[in-house]
Amino acid sequence: MATGIIYNVQRYSIHDGPGIRTTVFLKGCPLDCWWCHNPESQKPGQEIIFWEERCLRCGDCAGTCKKGAVVFRNNMPVILTENCDLCGSCSSKCPSGAQEMVGRKVSAAELMKEIEKDTIFFDESGGGVTFSGGEPLMQPDFLDELLKRCKEKQINTAVDTSGYASWETVNRISENADLFLYDIKLMDNIRHKKYTGVDNDIIINNLKLLARKHNNIVIRVPVVPGINDSSDDMLAIGEFVLTLGIKSLNILPYHNTGMDKYRRLHLEYKIPETKPPSQERMGEIKDRLGSLGLNIKIGG
Ligand code: SF4
Ligand code: SF4
């Protein structure tokens, strides 16, 4: 039986596909987008986030660690990652949730039990389960088994993906996924590589192949001011997806709610000054793309 690592299960979601959905966030992503608001999703394995303002300085984390991996510096616990084996004792012992283990190992069967608790909401709303991340295609065996189990239970499924995976993986997953929420960030490859860390040719080629065999694809485009929000960039994406016969495109306004997590993970947030696009600008982009013949929705 396949197992995987997830970092969140969000119930009653209304932005990740039709109806009321349970969104499962799989851990690990091959991209490193400058605007990512879930940086804790990027590393494939488990990790510990430290919430400084929650810390009571009680020392329980240091006391419980058998590896001597927690030391106090400036009256604050610090984990020496080179000594830490991610056993989780410190986060279990911490009375205030300051040491938080991100990522949970779970089998497909265990996760299905959680998902099936929401079947009544799926049935009443036309919803289902959405596998997001991170990049769910990074755990293909786990994802494939979950999709098959959902199909057996007649639970609608969506896969929210960057499209950055081998075609073999995308093809395999497409056999049992009811809907793809497929991200495109930029058509210009040089800037795509700069802002996401990877080339877009794999993403573009996979989408071309996927569009030939799967008839339920919604394109999702994050709108990030100063990076991809120009009319030229948006039109390039819109014109490309129309050539594939895809009509549905969601534009997602950038937000910076994840900025604080970067500090906690000792990561650099590269666009701290960037503000969310105005409603007016989102409306302009919607109208411009809509004039091409696309069905545009603002938000997920
Ligand atoms: S996860 Fe385990 S090894 Fe790592 S710091 Fe916490 S208690 Fe120590
Ligand atoms: S156990 Fe939690 S609250 Fe106590 S020192 Fe460690 S991180 Fe802070």
| Shared domain check, 90 and 184 | no
| Shared domain check, 132 and 59 | no
Structural domain tally of the chain? 2
Ligand 2 contact, 92 CB (< 6 A):
no
Give the integer Cα–Cα distance in Å for 283 and 3.
42
Per DSSP, what are the bridge partners of residue 129? 22, 157
Ligand 2 contact, 14 CB (< 6 A):
no
Q: Is residue 260 scored above 90 in pLDDT?
A: no
| Shared domain check, 111 and 98 | no
Distances (CA, A) of 146 to 113, 120, 139, 141, 177: 11, 19, 11, 9, 10
DSSP at 217? E
| Shared domain check, 249 and 141 | yes
CB 167 within 8 A of CB 206: yes
Q: Which ligand is nearest to the CA of 61?
A: 2
Helices (H), the chain: 60-64, 89-93, 108-116, 119-125, 140-152, 167-174, 189-196, 201-213, 231-243, 259-264, 279-290
Amino acid (1-letter code) at residue 89: S
| Shared domain check, 51 and 16 | no
| Shared domain check, 265 and 215 | yes
Atom of ligand 2 nearest to the CA of 93: 1
Among 206, 275, 258, which Cα is nearest to 25's? 258
| Shared domain check, 241 and 166 | yes
The CA 13 to ligand 2 mean position distance, Å, reads 32
Which structural domain, as residue segments, surrounds residue 57?
47-102
CB 132 within 8 A of CB 25: yes
pLDDT recorded at residue 206: 98
pLDDT recorded at residue 264: 79
pLDDT recorded at residue 266: 74
| Residues 6+ away with beta carbon under 8 Å from 193 | 199, 200
pLDDT recorded at residue 263: 80
DSSP at 275? P
| Shared domain check, 39 and 51 | no
Helix count (H) and strand count (E) of the chain?
11, 13
Question: Residue 3, SS3?
Answer: strand
For position 69, which CATH number holds? 3.30.70.20
Q: How far apart are the first and last CA of the chain?
A: 32
Q: What is the 3-state secondary structure (H, E, C) of 139-167?
A: CHHHHHHHHHHHHHCCCEEEEEECCCCCH
| Shared domain check, 138 and 18 | yes
pLDDT grade for 261, boundaries at 50, 70 and 90 = confident
Q: Is residue 267 scored above 90 in pLDDT?
A: no
For position 234, which CATH number holds? 3.20.20.70
Query: Last residue of a domain, which of 102, 120, 137?
Result: 102
Pocket of ligand 1 (CB under 6 A): 48, 64-65, 67, 69-70, 79, 84-90
| Shared domain check, 280 and 265 | yes
The CA 50 to ligand 1 mean position distance, Å, reads 12
Query: Last residue of a domain, which of 102, 130, 149?
Result: 102
| Shared domain check, 58 and 167 | no
Give the integer Cα–Cα distance in Å for 235 and 228.
11
Give the integer Cα–Cα distance in Å for 269 and 262.
6
Q: Is residue 300 scored above 80 in pLDDT?
A: no
| Shared domain check, 128 and 256 | yes
pLDDT recorded at residue 161: 98
Ligand 2 contact, 60 CB (< 6 A):
yes
Return the residue whose CA atom lies nearest to atom 6 of ligand 1.
90
Ligand 2 contact, 69 CB (< 6 A):
no
pLDDT recorded at residue 211: 98
pLDDT single digits (tens) 42-92: 999 999 989 999 999 999 999 999 999 999 999 999 999 999 999 999 999
The CA 268 to ligand 2 mean position distance, Å, reads 24
pLDDT single digits (tens) 160-208: 999 999 999 999 999 999 999 999 999 999 999 999 999 999 999 999 9
The CA 68 to ligand 1 mean position distance, Å, reads 8
Q: Which ligand is nearest to the CA of 90?
A: 1
Q: Is residue 274 scored above 80 in pLDDT?
A: yes
Query: Last residue of a domain, which of 55, 72, 102?
Result: 102
pLDDT recorded at residue 75: 94
